[in-house]
Amino acid sequence: MIFSCCDVFAENHSTIFSMGKSAEDAPEVNDLWPVPSTILGDNSRFALDLSSRIVNISRGDSSNTGYMQQLGVDIHKVISAPRKDLATVVIQLYAARIDNLNPHPPFFDSENDWEILKKINTINITALSRGSFNILLGHVELPYGLEYSIDTNTTLRQTPISQNLGLKADWGGGINGNINSIQYDVVVTRGSGMEYDSNGSPYAITGRIGSAFGSQSYFPNSGWGLSLFHGELLQGGSKIKRSRAGIDYQRTYGAFGLLSEFSWGKDDGMDRGMLFAEGSWTSVNEQLFAYTQLNAALKDTTAAWDDKLTWVIGLDLFHASGFSLSFQYSNDIRSFDKSIETELLQFQLRYRI
């Protein structure tokens, strides 16, 4: 999936774009934004997010360089009563511009286009219990695998959810909660991705149970999870029946982190497998983050088994002022159908305040 909250348009480019989560890592509203502070009130956070990305795609002797700019708002608001919290609201609306980006995500009309992107826009009703039973509604992130705890908001670094499921976020709702430090999430969604589309009656059911991480973080943590997915999805104008079962595990060893995820399932009755691993290093002040990833995909075809193996290396530089500079290189060691391997070289400058 190129823009990680919508349908896949090219399997070789599943890590080019990403989507966001919440504004929990932003400063308090009244520190920097007096007008939003007046409107949103207490227990709220507001972030302005700007990013500029250069993407070079190479296949054999051909090469193309495209650009993507994003400008968005990321709002996190806790609605409270005198003695308890009632709900949490997340609003993420971004304007995105692409130039000479070919191939491009399907919600852009051409390689030079503007779009308004509706990323994560949800309300999580928490007033029904003390965290053990909540109701989530809106454009929700699917609770599957490592993406559940790793915040890849508008970053080059990605987890395999988009490539594996074909969706990262979808319209719908579900339930979630924390019972004895075990977190559970189940959502039923439309199966169409960023835009709500009921043509052909697509649907998706996604669930995860595992360690309660509290809040998402860009950096690795320690914990585990079991995930299930089943649905009939709209992709490329047609429906595909997809099911997955997966397990994810992450562990930190001082400054080093290890992420892993394994999934198995079917696409239209044909077996599919996925194995993902990441090793990383974080500096003491968390201003430097280096990582390498290996992503292996396996699929059954009418003729024989086929596989794809992709290697990724990346580096992030963070500054306390809100600026970050990122680099990522990925290379297909093997490609499906013995096609020409794809190389991606990406740079991004981001300012989030």
What's the confidence (pLDDT) of residue 94? Answer: 96
Per-residue pLDDT band at 37 (split at 50, 70, 90)? low
Judge whether residue 30 has pLDDT over 70.
no
Per-residue pLDDT band at 64 (split at 50, 70, 90)? very high
Q: Tens of pLDDT along 171-229?
A: 999 999 999 999 999 999 999 988 899 988 999 999 999 998 877 889 999 999 999 99
Task: State percent of the chain over pLDDT 90.
Answer: 68
The whole-number average pLDDT for the span 332-337 is 86
Q: Is 110 exposed, middle or buried (0-12, 13-18, 19+ CB in 10 A)?
A: exposed
Q: Tens of pLDDT along 227-248?
A: 999 999 988 778 999 999 999 9
What's the confidence (pLDDT) of residue 23? Answer: 45
Judge whether residue 57 has pLDDT over 60.
yes
CATH superfamily of 11-352: Porin (2.40.160.10)
Q: Is 269 exposed, middle or buried (0-12, 13-18, 19+ CB in 10 A)?
A: exposed
What's the confidence (pLDDT) of residue 232? Answer: 97
What's the confidence (pLDDT) of residue 35? Answer: 58
What's the confidence (pLDDT) of residue 24? Answer: 44
What's the confidence (pLDDT) of residue 102? Answer: 85
What's the confidence (pLDDT) of residue 36? Answer: 63
What's the confidence (pLDDT) of residue 254? Answer: 95
Q: Tens of pLDDT along 129-153?
A: 988 999 999 999 999 999 989 988 7
Judge whether residue 16 has pLDDT over 90.
no
The whole-number average pLDDT for the span 259-271 is 96
Tell me how far apart the alpha carbons of residues 166 and 304 are, in angstroms, rounded to a whole number. Answer: 23
Map out the domains of the chain as residue ranges. 11-352
| Average pLDDT along the chain | 88
What's the confidence (pLDDT) of residue 32? Answer: 55
What's the confidence (pLDDT) of residue 25? Answer: 46
Tell me how far apart the alpha carbons of residues 312 and 295 are, in angstroms, rounded to a whole number. Answer: 8
Q: Tens of pLDDT along 271-323?
A: 999 999 999 999 999 999 999 999 999 999 887 889 999 999 999 999 989 99
The whole-number average pLDDT for the span 94-116 is 89
Let me know: does 314 contact 291? Beta carbons within 8 Å: yes
Tell me how far apart the alpha carbons of residues 56 and 101 are, in angstroms, rounded to a whole number. Answer: 9
The one-letter amino acid at 129:
S
**Other residues' Cβ atoms within 10 Å of the Cβ of residue 319:** 10
The whole-number average pLDDT for the span 111-129 is 94
**Other residues' Cβ atoms within 10 Å of the Cβ of residue 341:** 17
162 compared with 104, residue with greater pLDDT: 162
Per-residue pLDDT band at 38 (split at 50, 70, 90)? low
Tell me how far apart the alpha carbons of residues 66 and 64 are, in angstroms, rounded to a whole number. Answer: 7
